[in-house]
């Protein structure tokens, strides 16, 4: 087996040499003497524990830090000069023992080092001991290591001691290897933590006596009692297994207040009925610790942001204009002897958030240090049950790392500052029923009632909570429903509830997972995307998926064309039933679309550019800049009417993928007919053709344009399919004939002599705009400042014409697709997150593989890298859907025939660089079809 790791770094004491006992004995002699001297006359004193306290307080640390750590734990205070003297004395005590007893090595470790070197693996050794080189020399093993770093080097280089990863990182640098391709071998908890924080490929913990659990908790990937059972091939297998496991997790280390809101979006949990942002259990100031419940909207608050933190929108006279942020249900209060433990205070030291994508569980590990050096760990896990949409689960465990004091943990259904953080709701009841605290809220304008009830069980070091959520959208009496549901959970095993949730996620992944062998980071990002598409997709046909799902306040929770054009294909080919539910939302809001058409002066149904629960248009008419108060007009609400055809297109694609006759003959046909009636009334006759004037296409930098290619192509398709459906069901014969005639008469811009399709009438005559690279992939704040000037320039916000070969892949020959890509790509600034995925798909199709990979990776990592600096307002679900489409329909070139998906014969050659293959499962007409592509 070839090895993917290039280096291995070994701690010395307790791993290579049997000197840990010498160190422990030296520390004991030092500290026992100190304790004896400091004890009041005649009073007993507690000796240093050379097992427990050695491991917890001094093992693996530089001498000075070891002294300080012990003094803090015992709440002893000494002058700095006395601390330094103790450190010097410890060095002398160890040196004496070293000279008297000599150095023994672990034969199994030496054998492994030799075996690794024979396989070409470079080796290094690190130790906090200032005697490192001396010990290696006495043992006669110095030549076995290509890099050596000891306590003297650490001092001279100014490196932090463990658990900081500095010394391991410096050793890896000396070995010329990246941390991800380097192994770390450690017997100390602090050393394991250092290896984990340094991002090393594999951290092996060596348990020399009852420390296995602590090493595993600290992050050791493998824990063994001795290295005799390991060889290079087993280590390689463990490394690959860890990489596969990492590909199922999203992790964040450390606390950064400036990035906290972004983290809250990324680490959200949800189940379609509700979503809860990934805020800390003890939310710090500035946290946007929100819960969102699908369908719960209220009147717009003009002081809350729209699509960017800089953008405000005026109050609108609509009861359902803005998604409501409900108080965070997972709030805890933690104290140690009166000191609050939270990252909003002075005691937060270490933080790790881990989202387990496989099971949909968020784990948070936080370490606090209070006066006296007392270190307390609080570990929590939470989920929004996928098996029971009304149920939230939370567990919290607190433990002292170097003390035995009790930690007070208290849950709260209602966090502090509710009115300021959640301005759409008012509390109407707080009740402390026996074992079931309850709180009820009402939205201020729309009048929805929300009830949260919980039951908490106490454990030896923590608590477990079942939290139930109901609203008046679910039942006439959400209070009674919540209490009854809570009662039904009585007696059910807590772990069984987590297991049922995990099993539901397992079923999803069976249908939706994409494997890219040997590329765990790509698998991780793809799974992150699929997780966030599944999170807002529920079972309620009265709601759909908003632009930022249930993870943030961006776009006020509004539903756009994003759902049908960018997200729906993912569900069509993974969970077709959920695709149907999303389309049923459009049927449920059909009356709102009819009202919208009438408001605009037309017949039929015109879907709102931005809608919520009624289908009425809630698009703001203007944006107000927070910093200056400047007002900028928004034309999309009245002119971006292509959304109507987008819905019809999605209806047809669903029918193609499922052959769902009940849907097509009922809701689907109604949508097709009503949207066709709109287009028939929206068109105007010209000398030779009918035209659609005064619109905004997908490129939102240009308004009031005529014959936008995308809009007209989609409207024609809408008319054609409506006519087909009418004839199929023997309905509306006269209208069907009219729709067919209008479809044939509608002017749809086609390729010119150079193969390029004009985006809209007069686009080619617009002024040129040299687009610098640094202006790409940024939120279009500056563009909005200059909207009048931009309207006269050949500058494109996002894929517009290039949407056509994505949605109609068989309509254009290769030469036309390539010509349009080469023309429009340099003009596009990708001011929308929807754009990179489309460009990736088209570039892959025409063989521009470097472009394809660059755009695809931009789309793949958009939220994880916060590329557009606005992920704090929620994840970009449409970009995630576009990423999925770019892989499946672009790189793999999947097309569907009656018997299932067919992969383009050239797909293996089009795979991104470094990929050996890709495997997926695609649903088509009632069956799941495995798809596998390998590089030739």
pLDDT of residue 100: 75
Closest CA to 461 of 361, 334, 563: 334
Tell me how far the alpha carbon of residue 171 is from its chain's centroid.
32
Which residues make Cβ contacts (< 8 Å) with residue 898, sequence separation at least 6?
925
Average the pLDDT over 59-74 and give the result: 80
840-866 pLDDT, tens digit each: 999 999 999 999 999 999 999 999 999
Going by C-alpha positions, the residue among 250, 214, 331, 319 that lies closest to residue 284 is 331
pLDDT at 702 over 80: yes
Instruction: Tell me the percentage of the chain whose pLDDT exceeds 90.
Output: 76
HEC sequence for 462-516? EEEEEEEEEECCCCCCHHHHHHHHHHHCCCCCHHHHHHHHHHHHHHHHHHHCCEC
Higher pLDDT, 421 or 714: 714
**Cβ contact 860:522 at 8 Å:** yes
Cβ atoms of residues 879 and 270 within 8 Å: no
pLDDT at 103 over 80: no
Query: Per-residue pLDDT tens for 432-442?
Result: 877 789 999 99
156-175 burial, b for 16+ CB within 10 Å, e for fewer?
eeebebbbebbbbbbbbebb
CB 701 within 8 A of CB 783: yes
CA-CA-CA-CA torsion sign (562, 565, 570, 575): positive
Q: Tell me what the mean pLDDT of segment 446-467 comes to.
A: 95
pLDDT for 29 equals 83
pLDDT over 70 percentage in the chain: 99
Give the integer Cα–Cα distance in Å for 556 and 548: 9
- Cα–Cα distances in Å, from 874 out to 93, 536, 556? 58, 12, 10
Element of type H or E holding 384: strand 374-384
Residue 1 clears pLDDT 70, i.e. is over it: no
Of 129-133, 193-197, 374-378, 471-475, give the range with the top mean pLDDT: 471-475
Residues with a catalytic annotation lie at 11, 13
When the pLDDT of each residue in the chain is averaged and rounded to a whole number, the result is 93
**pLDDT score recorded for residue 26:** 79
Distances (CA, A) of 460 to 145, 218, 318, 746: 46, 21, 50, 73
State the greatest distance between any 2 C-alpha atoms of the chain, in Å, as a whole number: 112
Contact status, residue 527 vs residue 513, Cβ threshold 8 Å: yes
**What's the pLDDT band for 419 if we cut at 50, 70, 90?**
confident
* Whether residue 92 has pLDDT greater than 90: no
pLDDT in tens, 876-918: 999 999 999 999 999 999 999 999 999 999 999 999 999 999 9
pLDDT band at residue 709, thresholds of 50, 70 and 90? very high
DSSP letter at 461? T
- Give residue 664's pLDDT: 98
- Across the range 165-187, mean pLDDT stands at 95
- Distance, in Å, from the CA atom of 12 to the CA atom of 147, rounded to the nearest integer, reads 13
Query: Using 50, 70 and 90 to split pLDDT, how confident is the model at 175?
Result: very high
The predicted model gives 304-321 an average pLDDT of 89
Report the pLDDT value the prediction gives residue 44, as an integer from 0 to 100.
83
- pLDDT tier, 229 (very low <50, low <70, confident <90, very high otherwise): confident
């Amino acid at each position: 087996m070839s090895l993917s790791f290039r280096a291995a770094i070994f701690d010395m004491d307790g791993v290579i040499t049997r000197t840990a006992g010498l160190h422990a004995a030296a520390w004991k002699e030092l500290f026992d003497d100190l304790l004896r001297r400091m004890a009041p006359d005649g009073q007993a004193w507690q000796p240093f524990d050379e097992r427990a306290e050695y491991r917890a307080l001094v093992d693996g640390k530089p001498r000075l830090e070891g002294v300080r750590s012990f003094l803090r734990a015992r709440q002893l205070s000494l002058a700095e000069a006395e601390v330094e003297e103790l450190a010097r004395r410890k060095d002398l005590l160890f040196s004496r023992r070293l000279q008297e007893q000599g150095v023994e090595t672990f034969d199994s470790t030496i054998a492994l080092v030799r075996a690794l070197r024979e396989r070409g693996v470079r080796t290094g050794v690190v130790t906090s001991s200032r005697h490192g080189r001396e010990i290696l020399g006495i043992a006669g093993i110095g030549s076995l290591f290509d890099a050596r770093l000891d306590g003297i080097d650490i001092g001279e280089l100014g490196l932090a001691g463990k658990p900081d990863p500095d010394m391991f990182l410096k050793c890896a640098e000396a070995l010329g290897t990246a941390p991800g391709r380097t192994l770390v071998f450690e017997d100390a908890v602090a050393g394991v933590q250092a290896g984990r924080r340094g991002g090393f490929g594999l951290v092996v913990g060596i348990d020399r006596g009852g420390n296995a659990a602590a090493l595993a908790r600290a992050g050791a990937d493998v824990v063994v009692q001795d290295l005799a059972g390991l060889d290079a091939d087993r280590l390689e297998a463990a490394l690959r297994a860890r990489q596969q496991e990492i590909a199922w997790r999203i992790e964040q280390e450390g606390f950064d207040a400036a990035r906290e809101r972004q983290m809250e979006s990324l680490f959200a949990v949800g189940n379609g009925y509700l979503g809860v942002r990934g805020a800390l259990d003890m939310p710090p100031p500035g946290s946007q610790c929100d819960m969102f419940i699908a369908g719960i909207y209220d009147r717009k608050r003009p002081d809350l942001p729209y699509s960017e933190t800089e953008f405000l929108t005026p109050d609108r006279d609509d009861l359902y204009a803005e998604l409501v942020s409900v108080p965070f249900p997972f709030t805890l209060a933690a104290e140690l002897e009166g000191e609050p433990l939270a990252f909003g205070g002075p005691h937060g030291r270490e933080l790790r958030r881990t989202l387990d994508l496989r099971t949909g569980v968020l784990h948070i590990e936080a370490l606090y240090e209070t006066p006296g050096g007392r270190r307390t760990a609080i570990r929590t896990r939470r989920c929004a049950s996928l098996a029971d949409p009304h149920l939230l689960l939370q567990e919290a465990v607190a433990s002292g790392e170097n003390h035995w004091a009790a930690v007070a943990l208290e849950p709260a259904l209602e966090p502090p500052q509710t009115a300021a953080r959640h301005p759409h709701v008012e509390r109407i009841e707080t009740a402390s029923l026996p074992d079931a605290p309850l709180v009820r809220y009402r939205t201020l304008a729309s009048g929805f009632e929300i009830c949260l009830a919980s039951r908490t069980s106490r454990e030896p070091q923590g608590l477990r909570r079942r939290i139930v959520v109901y609203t008046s959208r679910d039942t006439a009496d959400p209070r009674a429903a919540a209490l009854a549901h809570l009662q039904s959970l009585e007696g059910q095993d807590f772990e069984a509830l987590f297991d049922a949730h995990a099993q539901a996620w397992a079923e999803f992944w069976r249908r939706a997972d994409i494997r890219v062998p040997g590329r765990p980071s790509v698998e991780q990002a793809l799974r992150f995307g699929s997780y966030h598409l599944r999170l807002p997709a529920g079972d309620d046909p009265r709601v759909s998926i908003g632009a930022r799902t249930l993870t943030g306040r961006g776009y006020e929770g509004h539903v756009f064309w994003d759902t049908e054009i960018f997200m729906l294909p993912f569900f069509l080919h993974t969970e077709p039933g959920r695709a149907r539910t999303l389309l049923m939302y459009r049927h449920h809001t059909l009356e709102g679309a009819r009202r919208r058409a009438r408001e605009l002066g037309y017949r039929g149904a015109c879907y709102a550019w931005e809608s919520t629960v009624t289908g009425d248009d809630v698009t703001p008419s203007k944006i107000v800049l927070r910093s200056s108060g400047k007002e900028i007009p928004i034309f999309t609400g009245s002119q971006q009417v292509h959304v109507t055809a987008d819905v019809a297109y999605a209806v047809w694609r669903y029918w193609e993928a499922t052959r769902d006759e009940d849907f097509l003959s009922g809701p689907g046909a109604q949508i097709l007919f009503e949207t066709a009636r709109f287009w028939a009334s929206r068109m105007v006759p010209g000398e030779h053709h009918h035209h659609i004037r005064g619109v905004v296409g997908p490129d939102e930098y240009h308004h009031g344009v005529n014959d936008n290619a995308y809009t007209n192509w989609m409207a024609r398709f809408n008319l054609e399919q409506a006519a087909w459906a009418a004839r199929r069901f023997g309905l509306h014969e006269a209208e069907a004939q009219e729709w067919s005639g209008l479809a044939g008469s509608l002017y749809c811009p086609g390729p010119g002599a150079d193969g390029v399709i004009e985006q809209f009438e007069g686009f080619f005559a617009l002024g040129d705009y040299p687009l610098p690279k640094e202006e790409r992939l940024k939120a279009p704040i500056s563009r909005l400042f200059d909207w009048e000037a931009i309207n006269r320039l050949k500058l494109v916000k996002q894929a517009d014409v290039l949407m056509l070969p994505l949605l109609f892949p068989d309509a254009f020959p290769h030469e036309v697709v390539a010509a349009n890509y080469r023309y429009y790509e340099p003009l596009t600034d990708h001011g929308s997150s929807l754009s990179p995925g489309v460009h990736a798909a088209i570039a892959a199709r025409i063989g521009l593989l470097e472009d394809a990979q660059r755009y695809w990776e931009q789309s793949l990592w958009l939220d994880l890298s916060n590329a557009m600096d606005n992920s704090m307002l929620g994840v970009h679900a449409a970009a995630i859907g576009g990423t999925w489409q770019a892989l499946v329909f672009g790189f793999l070139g999947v097309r569907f025939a009656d018997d299932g998906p067919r992969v383009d014969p050239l797909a293996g050659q089009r795979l991104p660089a470094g990929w050996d293959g890709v495997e997926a499962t695609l649903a088509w007409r009632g069956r799941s079809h495995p798809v596998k592509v390998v590089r030739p």
